[in-house]
Structure 1
Amino acid sequence: SVQDSIAGTELLNQVAAEHPRIRKIWVDGGYRQHLVEHAASLGIDMEITQRKPGTRGFTPIPKRWVVERTYGWLMLHRRLARDYETRPARSEAMIHIAMTDLMARRLTSENTISWRGPAPQTKQQIPG
C-alpha cells in the first residue's frame, strides 16, 4: 500500500546492497527524478521508459513488455494464477519453481504442456 516513488528508495538500497553488479534498471513513469538521482548515487543508471507522445491504443513500452510477457508465462502455472500462498517466502519459491520449469523447457526444446491441448499419449507396456 505504498506508492512506487516512496518504496523505490528502499528497494534501490536493497538492490544495491544485495546485487552490487547491477548497473542499469528500467522503470515506468511512476518513478520521480529524485529516485533517478538516488540510483545514480548508488552507481545505478535508472531509465524511465514511457510511451511515445501521441501514441493511441495498445503500444508496447520498450523493456516493460519483457516484464509483462514474463508475467504471462508465469500465469500458465496454475498455482501462481491465484494467491494461494500465505507467506511471501513460499510465493517467491513458487515463482522460482515456475521459472526453473520455463527455462528447462526452453533449454530442452520441449513444448509447454497446456490444459487447452489434447491429452498426452501414454506409452503402452509391451508384455514379456
Structure 2
Amino acid sequence: MTVEKKIKGRKRHIITDTNGLVLGCYVGAGSENDRDGVKLALRNMVWKYSEVRKMWADMGYEGKELKMSIDEEFKIDLEIIKRPRSGCWVRKDTPVELLPRIEGGFKVQRRRWVVERTFGWLGRNRRLSKEYDLLCSSTENNIYMSLNRLLLRRFFPPN
C-alpha cells in the first residue's frame, strides 16, 4: 500500500544538458515522489536523445534502487552531486587537533546550478511563473515553447 502526501501544487522535473537547455521534462502532482517523476522525465527524453550516458542529480534523487533501475532501463549512469559539509557536532572535550577542518564561505560546486538556472529562465515567462494551466501536459508544452523562444532570441536577437 502506498501512502501519498496530501500536498497541493505540482512538481516540475526537467532534464537538461550541460548548457541548461531542456532535453526532457515531466510535470506531475506535488504529492508524487521525486524518484518516480525522474523516471517519467527520462522516458520523455529517451525517445529523442538516446545517446545520453551520464546524468548528474541532486540529493533528492539519491537511492540505490533508483540508480540501478535507471542503469538497467535507460543505460544511464546516475551520479549524485552532494553539498559540501558546512558544519558538524562535536563533543565539548574534543581536542582541537581532532576537529574536522571545514572551509567556510560559499563555493561554487560543479554541475549543481545548471538546472536551477534553467528554472530561472523558465520563470521569466508569465505562463510558467505560476500554475495557471489545468492540465500538467499544458505546463509541459509551455516549458518546451518557452525554451524555443529563449533559443530563438539567443540566435536571432531582436533589433
Q: What is the TM-score normalised by the length of structure 1?
A: 0.68
Paired residue for 1:66?
114
Deviation at 1:80, TM superposition (A): 1.0
- Larger-gyration structure (1/2): 1
- Name segments (4+ residues, structure 1) moved above 4 Å: 55-61
Please, which runs of 5 or more residues in structure 2 have no aligned partner? 1-30, 87-102
Paired residue for 1:39?
70
Q: What is the TM-score normalised by the length of structure 2?
A: 0.57
Paired residue for 2:59?
29
C-alpha distance in 1 between matches for 2:67 and 2:119: 25
Paired residue for 1:106?
154
Report which of the two has the higher share of strand. Answer: 2
C-alpha distance in 2 between matches for 1:9 and 1:94: 19
Aligned positions, number:
110
C-alpha distance in 1 between matches for 2:32 and 2:105: 28
Q: 1:105 to 1:28 in 2, by over 3 A?
A: same
Asked if structure 1 preserves the Cα contact closer than 8 Å seen for 2:56 and 2:78, the reply is yes
Q: 1:8 to 1:70 in 2, by over 3 A?
A: closer
Matched, 1:11 2:40: yes
The Cα offsets for residues 12-65 of structure 1, whole Å up to 9 and x where unpaired, read as 773586353221111111221221122222321001111122376765543230
Deviation at 1:109, TM superposition (A): 3.8
Paired residue for 1:75?
123
SS at 1:50 equivalent: coil
C-alpha distance in 1 between matches for 2:120 and 2:54: 24
Report which of the two has the higher share of helix. Answer: 1
Please, which runs of 5 or more residues in structure 1 have no aligned partner? 112-128
Q: 1:13 to 1:108 in 2, by over 3 A?
A: closer
C-alpha distance in 2 between matches for 1:89 and 1:8: 14
